[in-house]
Structure 1
Amino acid sequence: MNRYQEEYRRKLVSADEAVKVVKSGDWVAYSHFAMTPRVLDEALARRKDELFDVKIRGVCALHPVKVALADPEQKHFIYNSSFFSGADRRLQDEGLAYHIPGLYHEAPGILRGNHDGPDVAMIVTTPMDEKGFFNFSVSCSYERAVCDKARTIIVEVNENAPRCLGGFQESIHISEVDYIVEGNNEPLFEVPNIPPTEVDKKIARLIVEEIEDGSCLQLGIGGLPNTIGKMLAESDLKDLGVHSEMMCNAFLDLYEAGKITGARKNIDRFKMVYTFALGDARLYEFLHNNPACAIYPVDYTNDINIIARNDKQIAINNAIEIDLYGQVCSESVGVRQISGTGGQFDFTFGAYRSRGGKAFICMSSTKKVGDRVVSRIVPMITPLGIVTVPRTVVQYVVTEYGKVNLKGKSTWQRAELLISIAHPDFREELIKHAEKMKIWTRTNKKLSLAC
């Protein structure tokens, strides 16, 4: 037994023993996405009656957080999330989850400068390697910053977590860890395969025709990114690169098709750069000990200046609605938080600053609300809704009816362009609103009627 194994044995405790370090009034930081702690969360929830005013912060928990469910009156625990998942939204609907707004790339710096904690870090990791390191696996975003700040560090080991090579700040040494808990070793959360709609296919075609050899890609989750990946895999394009906050299955499909080489990247050449991964078991297996991939903290991947250093950076993001001024809401419906700003602002701004870069905001032209069909292009963002990307930053907007570039356009031009890609059933109504808003001209009217 080497010295690291001896230290491991000394620090190995049960989850119930480890969470005794939490005191009333503490801030507790959970690791993120597929790496949200399960065993430690359940153990902390069992301490409910012993603690008061404990604040928990996480990101996009993919299972219902037990500390929130255990305390509906919130006398003991208050759960906060920087990006809402479906589980977080359901907690919010019961008044049990609160959002922490922010730009994704700023989170590590904010944490390190925060005088209020976190006091305790609860981080899911891979098993310890022979050099004494625990790897943060598929969620690196600001785990290192959390550990740097925390008074006490507890790792929850999951033997099914892939070891994701860095970059930097992708691991923590046993000498820095206070307690080790061996988790339940459940397989990581797998994102269900979302089949593309016809609208997804139309939008994907409009974007794919804008992508060139050597482009560097940022993609997200869902039917649209998967469709774009499939179309690119079947195209004649070559030497694509990856610089993306999220690693998803679409990139794996492109890599296996020989489209991704990273050979034309200006930084991190030949590396697929990301800060967290969400996909299926095939993706997680691909990432394990794979030197073709490099996981970095989010203040690197999402730094606007870093994003801009690769030529032809392509950013592709979804929206909930966009108004006639060009303001984008991608995270709420009125006061109901749906997700978060995440890296959408970072990549929209950073990609435009890249030489030859393009930033796309994508959405279907309509959505169903109950029995009604409503336009996603609206006169003004839904009252009390959140503006995720201000009109000054937006470049391309894409629906199934076309794509428009809003950069450098005046208010009346923006209104005209956006209405031109709205669903035809809503265009005349939008024109009437634009007239009342004083952003429509007689020239606009003639062009609209000619469409």
Structure 2
Amino acid sequence: MTLQERYHAKVITAERAAKMVNSGDWLEYGFCTTAPRAFDAALAQRKAELSDVDIRVGVSVYPPEVVKADPEGEVFTFNSWHYSGLDRRLSDSGPVFYNPMKFSELPRYVLENTPTDIFIVQVAPMDKYGFFNFGGSASHHYAVIARAKKIIVEVNEQIPRAHGGYGHGIHIDEVDYIIEGDNLPLTELHPAQISEVDQAIAQKVMAEMRDGDCIQLGIGGMPNALGNMIAQSDLKDLGGHTEMISESFVDMFLSGVMNGRRKNIDKGRIAYTFTLGTKKLYDFLDDNPFCANYPVDYTNSASVAASIDNLVTINNAVEIDLFGQVCSESSGTRNISGSGGQLDFVLAGYLSRGGRSFICLSSCFKDKKGQLHSCVTTKHLSSCFMLHKR
């Protein structure tokens, strides 16, 4: 059979795909922007027919129809590997729970511990060689593919075709069924607003930057401010190796300051594991050989990242104490995000030859009532904490 014949033989409706779900099943949705849309809506319609269906997700960006249909969690339970803002809000009132896991270890954890009944993931249309692309969100998908009993792809023409290192797509011969989706636009995350404090911290970090540095940026106003400063600077030959690729990397590349020429590995490319941003970012990733999408156990591996000379890692924090313990994942007992790449990248920055690592936060914040609170145990600590070698 030709590729097209194999393709058409596997096409089914979202409703038929949802009918394959049985009570007690464990489903895995694609990570972040690759979570299914048409399948999710069809599965929500089966609430009355099912019981005890668990769904694993990560950085959800589409309001899940199954949670809308079952707000009390009588049938469907969402289990998140890493909270997004949406997951966090849903966990406050609905059946959404955090799975404690260091993100870099997720593929191994899936391979060793989490059999999956059905894996459903949004993909770009099949290319001429029979490959579907994950659109810049490789994450742990290769591990789920290895464990899943059934694999269903939901084709979306809006998803960019991202170049990669490995694990950034799936061949039709590995796919059991194909849903031709509704081609809905990807959710856009616009850059966080930059405050005066963000600008001040970014300037402190900027003073430590050098030509040839390789940059990892976290998410938030401060990394966005720093990325803008770098893009407008006269720095040369910067590289990129990061967990989430953001708008700042687009600006640094287009301005000519980032080309990856001095990187020890992935020379001339920026390595990342998932994407979330605006259409500007998604268009930038489409068929761009500068961008290399990898599984998270490559990008977030401290040993891999540390092998890059002059690695500079920049991340935010919620609060810090006098023992140097940094809180970036929770506020009190409320989970905010998850155990992402911050620890891995701090270690990598420290171990990298010529590397530096920055943990950045404001010294205080105002609550909803306008009352001022400290982010540190004493007001005399600096607002920008640096771990680097001289």
What is the TM-score normalised by the length of structure 2? Answer: 0.95
Q: Which has the larger radius of gyration?
A: 1
- CA-to-aligned-CA distance 1:282-315 (integer Å, 9 cap, x gap): 1111111111111111111111110100011111
Change (3 A) 1:4 1:196: same
Aligned to 1:285: 283
Aligned to 1:137: 135
Aligned to 1:343: 341
For 2:90, what is the secondary structure of its paired residue?
helix
Partner of residue 235 from structure 2, selected from 227, 237, 251: 237
For 1:57, what is the secondary structure of its paired residue?
strand
For 2:210, what is the secondary structure of its paired residue?
coil
Aligned to 1:418: none
| Cα shift at 1:174 | 0.8
What CA distance in whole angstroms lies between the structure 2 residues aligned with 1:378 and 1:188? 41
Is residue 254–residue 260 contact of structure 1 (8 Å, CA) maintained in 2?
yes
Q: What does 1:355-366 correspond to in 2, within 5 Å? A: 355-366=353-364
What CA distance in whole angstroms lies between the structure 1 residues aligned with 2:168 and 2:178? 18
Aligned to 1:84: 83
Aligned to 1:388: none
Q: What does 1:31-430 correspond to in 2, within 5 Å? A: 31-114=30-113, 116-371=114-369, 372-378=371-377, 399=383, 402-405=384-387
Task: Give the RMSD, CA atoms, in angstroms.
Answer: 1.7
Spell out structure 1 runs of 4+ moving beyond 4 A: 402-407
- CA-to-aligned-CA distance 1:185-217 (integer Å, 9 cap, x gap): 111111123331110100000011111111100
- Number of residue equivalences: 387
Change (3 A) 1:155 1:405: closer
| Cα shift at 1:89 | 1.3
What CA distance in whole angstroms lies between the structure 2 residues aligned with 1:176 and 1:72? 34
What CA distance in whole angstroms lies between the structure 2 residues aligned with 1:19 and 1:336? 33
For 2:288, what is the secondary structure of its paired residue?
coil
Is residue 30–residue 57 contact of structure 1 (8 Å, CA) maintained in 2?
yes
| Cα shift at 1:50 | 1.6
| Cα shift at 1:274 | 0.6
| Cα shift at 1:36 | 1.8
Amino acid at match of 2:167: Q
- CA-to-aligned-CA distance 1:382-403 (integer Å, 9 cap, x gap): xxxxxxxxxxxxxxx962xx54
What CA distance in whole angstroms lies between the structure 1 residues aligned with 2:287 and 2:135? 10
| Cα shift at 1:72 | 3.0
- CA-to-aligned-CA distance 1:160-194 (integer Å, 9 cap, x gap): 10001110111111111111111111111111233
What CA distance in whole angstroms lies between the structure 2 residues aligned with 1:9 and 1:361? 51
| Cα shift at 1:404 | 4.8
For 2:215, what is the secondary structure of its paired residue?
strand
Amino acid at match of 1:280: T
Report the identity percentage: 48
Change (3 A) 1:321 1:137: same
Change (3 A) 1:149 1:20: same
| Cα shift at 1:74 | 2.3
Amino acid at match of 1:36: A
Change (3 A) 1:318 1:105: same
Is residue 203–residue 398 contact of structure 1 (8 Å, CA) maintained in 2?
no
Amino acid at match of 1:338: I
What CA distance in whole angstroms lies between the structure 1 residues aligned with 2:313 and 2:43? 39
For 1:213, what is the secondary structure of its paired residue?
coil
What CA distance in whole angstroms lies between the structure 1 residues aligned with 2:373 and 2:160? 43
- CA-to-aligned-CA distance 1:320-373 (integer Å, 9 cap, x gap): 111121111111111111111111111111121111111111111111223211
For 1:147, what is the secondary structure of its paired residue?
helix
| Cα shift at 1:134 | 0.4
For 1:55, what is the secondary structure of its paired residue?
strand
Which gives a bigger RCO, structure 1 or 2 (Cα 8 Å, sep 6+)?
A: 2
What CA distance in whole angstroms lies between the structure 1 residues aligned with 2:180 and 2:101? 32
- CA-to-aligned-CA distance 1:218-244 (integer Å, 9 cap, x gap): 112232122111211222211100011
Change (3 A) 1:404 1:164: closer
Unaligned runs of 5+ in 1: 380-396, 408-451
What CA distance in whole angstroms lies between the structure 1 residues aligned with 2:283 and 2:257? 20
For 1:377, what is the secondary structure of its paired residue?
coil
